Amino acid sequence: MEYNTTRNYLIMKEYGRNIQKMVEFLGTIEDDEERQRNAMAVIELMGTLNPHLRNVEDFRHKLWDHLFNISGFTLKVESPYPVPTQEALRAKPDRLPYPKKYPRNRHFGKNLEMVIDKALHEDNTEKKEGFTQCIGNYMKLAYSNWHKESVHDDAIKAELAAITNGGLEFQTGGSASAPVQTATFNLGGNTSGGGGGDHFRTNKRKNFQQNKQFKSNSGGGKNNNKHNNKYNKNRNK
């Protein structure tokens, strides 16, 4: 019995042990034409075992590269593509230049600093004010993510002014809080604008009473019809 510990190293595990044995057998064939014919058959089998490679551009080129890689770049066959080298396929990629940026306010992140810089260099007054309101709302959101209590607009205004050295001024109690009140009112909650929740519950109670009365009237009509039919039968007798 043959164990995996006694076998040679499996170069490409996605093709399995049998494909590697076939490639090793190709190296023992002395006739060039027979070796080429068997290499083409192995390429077709490799494509069948890995159908996901068919969606890759130039998938046959990739199969030939894998064939040479499995053989240890010692297989002598004619490839329709340039024969790869071991240095080209196993070359390590260049190290990625990760950005070394240290934000001044880490609890807000680096992206907020980029938006603040864009807002400070904005010439259009309306766009600059819109940037400022979005920055203030994002600061409130970031504060609520780290704290379980809400933050006052004056605190956000003071902190934004300190970060930008007075360059941006957050408008408190303006249009930023209006959408929240509107959403609360639409949900039927009690607001200071007119008691939408009480009006909703009153209409619901009236509709329920009207439906109940309608059902009782309908039931009474059925009973009256039964009584009239019984009376008519007795009268005919």
- What residues make up the domain containing 160? 94-172
In this prediction, residue 78 carries a pLDDT of 92
Q: Is residue 118 a part of any domain in this protein?
A: yes
Query: What is the distance of C-alpha 91 from the center of its chain?
Result: 33
Q: Residue 230: how many CB atoms within 10 A of its CB?
A: 10
Q: Does the pLDDT value for residue 36 go beyond 90?
A: yes
Work out the end-to-end distance of the chain between its first and last CA atoms, rounded to an integer number of angstroms. Answer: 104
Total count of domains within the chain: 2
Is 0.85 topped by the overall pTM? no
Phi, psi of 68 (to 5 degrees): -70, -35
In a domain, residue 211? The reply is no
**DSSP one-letter code for 9:** P
Verify that 101 and 85 share a domain, yes or no. no
pLDDT > 60? residue 72: yes
The answer to whether position 203 is within a domain reads no
What tens digit of pLDDT does each residue of 151-210 get? 888 888 888 888 888 888 888 765 433 333 333 323 333 433 444 444 444 454 555 555
Q: What does the pLDDT read at residue 103?
A: 67
Q: Are residues 15 and 84 in the same domain?
A: yes
- CB–CB of 152/170 below 8 Å? no
Residue 52 in this model has a pLDDT that exceeds 70: yes
- Check the CA dihedral 164-102-121-128 and report its sign: negative
- At which of 89, 118, 150 does a domain end? 89
**Residues 85 and 126 both lie in one domain:** no
Quote the CA–CA distance of 34 and 26 in Å, as a whole number. 9
| pLDDT tens for each residue of 84-135 | 888 887 788 888 887 776 767 777 777 888 888 888 888 888 888 888 899 8
**pLDDT tens digits, one per residue of 217-233:** 555 444 555 555 555 55
Cβ atoms of 106 and 163 within 8 Å: the answer is no
